[in-house]
Chain A
């Protein structure tokens, strides 16, 4: 249509292509786009009438589980807005034994969050070591009076009823509390490994489950370790794959890295969603993919791989040879990447420190620096010379 000749200065080929006359066909295309949008399904949720099912991690309002609060004040101190008010007093409990010292206990008097100030950063929820603060999805608590937005502990406790159980972990996610430094467990027999993960998960999870507000949470948490119970039988089917070569590796390097990858491979099992076949399919290729990335282990891998591929079809109908190959090519998201340790700077003195000191001192004085500055720079130069650090062109401190 109306093409502005004066604008034709840029040489971008896309622009020149866009400015080529299209004889109005672009206009028809535009009409087509709008009519398609008009006829497509309208996904508007009519909010006050229909309520959206918000994601479980929605930051709606912060709920307080009062009995978990120990008045440690961490939340109040970490709050960037200083919108948390905590008052407490100490109570003296009678000694346990006759003649013993009386025990002290902190009792929460006031816990209030001023939602007029709160910026919903969630740091208080993150920082609470005793799981006393939770996010709730409720967000309809606007008030006509700003003072009403300060929720005292009774109201904050009421929000606990709306707190959801934590969502299940994503596929491949690391199980919180799983042992990262447990090489001993991997060095031992095959059956020992799943046992350790299960037990550690059982240790870590119920700690949260106890803190979790509803009975539903406790149920899901309890179900989690139970999921990984059938693991030992699977482990027998693919016996040589992971542990056989993991063991020498961990011994050779002496790092906990091998243990980390091994636990990672097993961690996928409880993390994967209810479908049991998927749970079975995952670990074997994962365990193989992990050692492949390591250097110097090429000699033992092919054999283990082959045995694992043989073992696979017996295990479950799901993973085909292509799938296994795909897993080997592209390791999962949580496979540990080998990283280099930072090397310390060489401590080889290259110059005579005292000579450097004198030299720099003279140089600085000649340049007109004050005696104090010259001395300080000379000292810095001397220290650098002692430690073999290269000095700048000026020879001075900076």
Chain B
């Protein structure tokens, strides 16, 4: 099949890339939201949405989106209106920006930055500023408490994530995400023994905390501080900054986790027929597995207390990840050549 040759100028290519990335986010929100409804429902012996769209309520999140768009957008009289309006965008933009560097296939990537993982971690922590802005500008005590909790939680859990990612970068010898995937060998997470697995667990805890999902959902904790920073939001702003951002975050962190620990677009077993399957499907499969893991964790564990959360980060996760860096460094320096 001969496709017609298309030549695009640089700005046209940029437009196409931006268009695709912007489409991924709503797709992630709709598919992820539906998956979360259904998985949580079945774990709790419910059915979840069954009516919208006919077959097992497949259109539930689409209908939800339409509903949120139609709802009134209320801004409290006492709110700092400009900050209140900007905050959802500031929460959402970094989430979308993380999609830029995640390699879906060897060449299917928006931008293979040399400092990919550094960029990713730097960008993903920006959204907490949006959360803090939302909490502060709402003129609501619950929103304020939630915003401050979110900030404290980000500081506590950003470190373990960075250190776990740094461990992987050390083992790979590169900061580029494509380079990291290429340097990984089967079995991805299990080699070097222990290091990968512990780094993965640290990353998982940190990711759940940074997304503010149960059991680390004190910033939003709907039963104590009524969804924290998003208390005063309604309509489309609520959808974007809370529901949308959460789903976007899940997909982003799942993609990062699949890339760093599960071998990204490479087949799970280096075996002939499996190698023939395009890397896109391997990446999507691993990402969905990670998404499922996040959604599996959510109904399993109860919410921690705020001080337990901080204690867990500072007393367990950070020392463990620091020790991990030492071990990884020793491995890189002293491990026999054949094992590495």
A-B contact pairs, 24 of them (CB 8 A): A1-B312, A2-B309, A2-B312, A2-B315, A2-B316, A4-B308, A27-B301, A30-B301, A31-B296, A34-B43, A34-B296, A37-B42, A37-B44, A37-B45, A38-B39, A38-B42, A38-B43, A38-B296, A42-B42, A42-B45, A44-B45, A44-B46, A44-B47, A46-B50
- Bound-state Cα–Cα, A38 to B41, Å: 8
Q: How far is the CB of A81 from chain B (nearest CB, A)?
A: 35
Are B296 and A46 within 8 A (Cβ)?
A: no
Across the two chains, which residue of chain B brings its CB closest to A35?
Answer: B296
Q: Which A residues lie within 8 Å of B300 (CB)?
A: 30-31, 33-34
Write the residues of chain A forming the contact surface with B, with a CB cutoff of 8 angstroms. 1-2, 4, 27, 30-31, 33-35, 37-38, 40, 42-44, 46
- Bound-state Cα–Cα, A31 to B44, Å: 13
Q: Which A residues lie within 8 Å of B297 (CB)?
A: 31
Return the 4 tightest CB-CB contacts between A and B, nearest first: A2-B308, A34-B300, A38-B43, A2-B312
Across the two chains, which residue of chain B brings its CB closest to A46?
Answer: B50
Q: B327 in the interface, Cβ–Cβ < 8 Å?
A: no
- Bound-state Cα–Cα, A29 to B39, Å: 18
Q: Which B residues lie within 8 Å of A43 (CB)?
A: 45
Q: How far is the CB of A36 from chain B (nearest CB, A)?
A: 9
- Bound-state Cα–Cα, A40 to B297, Å: 18
Q: B299 in the interface, Cβ–Cβ < 8 Å?
A: yes
Q: B323 in the interface, Cβ–Cβ < 8 Å?
A: no
- Bound-state Cα–Cα, A38 to B45, Å: 7
Q: B304 in the interface, Cβ–Cβ < 8 Å?
A: yes
Q: B141 in the interface, Cβ–Cβ < 8 Å?
A: no
- Bound-state Cα–Cα, A4 to B304, Å: 12
Are A37 and B43 within 8 A (Cβ)?
A: yes
Query: In chain B, residues 295-331, which have Cβ atoms closer than 8 Å to a Cβ of chain A?
Result: 296-297, 299-301, 304, 308-309, 311-312, 315-316
Q: Which B residues lie within 8 Å of A44 (CB)?
A: 45-47
Across the two chains, which residue of chain A brings its CB closest to B38?
Answer: A38
Q: How far is the CB of A45 from chain B (nearest CB, A)?
A: 10
Report B67-99 CB contacts with A as 1/0, cut-off 8 Å: 000000000000000000000000000000000
**CB contact between A46 and one of B39, B47, B304, B311 (< 8 Å): that residue:** B47
Q: Which B residues lie within 8 Å of A33 (CB)?
A: 300
* Dominant secondary structure of chain B at its interface with chain A: helix
Q: Which A residues lie within 8 Å of B309 (CB)?
A: 2
Q: Which A residues lie within 8 Å of B50 (CB)?
A: 46
Q: Which B residues lie within 8 Å of A2 (CB)?
A: 304, 308-309, 311-312, 315-316
Contacts beyond the supplied A42-B47, A44-B46: 17 A-B pairs with Cβ under 8 Å: A1-B312, A2-B304, A2-B308, A2-B309, A2-B312, A2-B315, A30-B300, A30-B301, A31-B296, A33-B300, A34-B43, A35-B43, A37-B42, A37-B44, A38-B42, A40-B45, A42-B45
Q: Which B residues lie within 8 Å of A46 (CB)?
A: 47, 50
Across the two chains, which residue of chain A brings its CB closest to B47?
Answer: A44
Q: How far is the CB of A212 from chain B (nearest CB, A)?
A: 39
Q: Which A residues lie within 8 Å of B45 (CB)?
A: 37, 40, 42-44
Across the two chains, which residue of chain B brings its CB closest to A33?
Answer: B300
- Bound-state Cα–Cα, A202 to B308, Å: 72
Across the two chains, which residue of chain A brings its CB closest to B201?
Answer: A24
Q: How far is the CB of B199 from chain A (nearest CB, A)?
A: 15
- Bound-state Cα–Cα, A38 to B35, Å: 13
Q: Which A residues lie within 8 Å of B308 (CB)?
A: 2, 4
Across the two chains, which residue of chain A brings its CB closest to B300?
Answer: A34
Across the two chains, which residue of chain A brings its CB closest to B42?
Answer: A38
Q: Which B residues lie within 8 Å of A4 (CB)?
A: 308
- Bound-state Cα–Cα, A2 to B215, Å: 13
Report B11-43 CB contacts with A as 1/0, cut-off 8 Å: 000000000000000000000000000010011
- Bound-state Cα–Cα, A1 to B215, Å: 13
Q: How far is the CB of B293 from chain A (nearest CB, A)?
A: 9
Q: Which B residues lie within 8 Å of A30 (CB)?
A: 300-301
- Bound-state Cα–Cα, A306 to B311, Å: 75
- Bound-state Cα–Cα, A31 to B299, Å: 9
Q: How far is the CB of A254 from chain B (nearest CB, A)?
A: 60
Q: Which A residues lie within 8 Å of B304 (CB)?
A: 2
Q: How far is the CB of B12 from chain A (nearest CB, A)?
A: 46
Across the two chains, which residue of chain A brings its CB closest to B313?
Answer: A2
- Bound-state Cα–Cα, A40 to B296, Å: 15
- Bound-state Cα–Cα, A4 to B312, Å: 11
Q: Which A residues lie within 8 Å of B316 (CB)?
A: 1-2
Q: How far is the CB of A51 from chain B (nearest CB, A)?
A: 16
- Bound-state Cα–Cα, A1 to B216, Å: 13
Q: How far is the CB of B142 from chain A (nearest CB, A)?
A: 25
Query: In chain B, residues 43-60, which have Cβ atoms closer than 8 Å to a Cβ of chain A?
Result: 43-47, 50
Q: How far is the CB of A21 from chain B (nearest CB, A)?
A: 11
Q: Which A residues lie within 8 Å of B299 (CB)?
A: 34
Across the two chains, which residue of chain B brings its CB closest to A37?
Answer: B43
Across the two chains, which residue of chain A brings its CB closest to B297?
Answer: A31
Q: Which A residues lie within 8 Å of B312 (CB)?
A: 1-2
Interface centre among A33, A37, A40 (most CB of B within 10 A): A37
Q: How far is the CB of A35 from chain B (nearest CB, A)?
A: 7
Q: How far is the CB of B339 from chain A (nearest CB, A)?
A: 27
Q: How far is the CB of A48 from chain B (nearest CB, A)?
A: 10
Q: Which A residues lie within 8 Å of B315 (CB)?
A: 2
